[in-house]
Amino acid sequence: MIETISHEGATVAMIIRRGHQTKGISFVTPLDFSLQLGTMTRPAGYEVVPHIHNPVRRETIGTQEVLFVASGRVAVDFYSFEQVYLESRELGAGDTILLAGAGHGIKILEEASIIEVKNGPYIEGADKGGVQGKR
């Protein structure tokens, strides 16, 4: 299952729940996202043709991040750009979330191991701003 959380027509997050499967490869994000998130199911013996990725210049504004919950349980709170609390979702082991825009907060409900991927480079002091309207 894939769930999209939106606010005023903009995607705030996309969640791919554990167990979601697709035939072949399927990207769930729009082409204009700085991170492209997809799922892939392939049979035994399938081979990805060896390849390189060409050095293509890309320009992005903002930061998107993907969290994969390897174990445990977390709650993710979503906020608008105006720092207003929107809603929350719980994620468990095997769930993946793309945080696409606006604000978010994360609470660890059960000890968790999380893998995080975000576009970089990370700029200390410039990348994050606090949310005033905490839940």
Domain housing 77: 2-42+61-118
Residue 133 lies in a domain: no
Domain contains 126: no
Q: Is 124 a member of any domain?
A: no
Q: What is the pLDDT of residue 135?
A: 62
Does 10 score more than 70 pLDDT?
Answer: yes
Say which residue, 127 or 110, is predicted with more confidence: 110
pLDDT tens digit string along 115-135?
999 988 777 777 777 766 656
Average pLDDT over residues 46-72: 94
Structural domains counted in the chain: 1
Q: Evaluate whether residue 15 is within a structural domain.
A: yes
Return the residue matching tokens 């504004």. 61
Residues 24-43: tens digit of each pLDDT:
999 999 998 999 999 999 99
Residue 132 lies in a domain: no
Could you tell me if residue 38 is inside a domain?
yes
How far, rounded to the nearest angstrom, does the alpha carbon of residue 88 sit from its chain's CA centroid? 14
pLDDT digit string, tens, across residues 76-102: 999 998 999 999 999 999 999 999 989
CATH of the domain at 96: 2.60.120
Cβ(36)–Cβ(22) below 8 Å = no
Q: What is the pLDDT of residue 66?
A: 97
- Give the side-chain half-sphere CA count within 13 A for 118: 17
